[in-house]
Amino acid sequence: MPYPASLFEPGMLVRNPAAPEWGLGQVQSRIGDRVTVMFEEHGKQVIDVSHVPLEPSLEG
């Protein structure tokens, strides 16, 4: 079950399970269902979490 967009706050560490090669990401901002994340290996991405689920990470 996907996590709701409201869970993702700036500074939070996340992963995109559909693209593990992107590495660890840090949430930069959230507006509605769109979360901007800076990933280690894929740079800044704007992700609509209603279509692409992110997972919180305890790493870091």
CA gap 7, 19 in Å, rounded: 20
Residue 60 has a pLDDT of 61
Q: Which residues of the chain have pLDDT under 70?
A: 1, 60
Domain CATH number, residue 14: 2.30.30
Domain count, the chain: 1
33 burial level (CB within 10 Å; 0-12, 13-18, 19+)? middle
Supply the range of the domain harboring residue 35.
5-56
Say which residues have a Cβ less than 8 Å from residue 30's Cβ, sequence separation at least 6: 5, 6, 8, 9, 10, 36
Cβ(47)–Cβ(54) below 8 Å:
yes
Residue 58 has a pLDDT of 84
Phi, psi dihedral angles at 26 (to 5 degrees): -120, 125
Residue 2 has a pLDDT of 78
Residue 1 has a pLDDT of 65
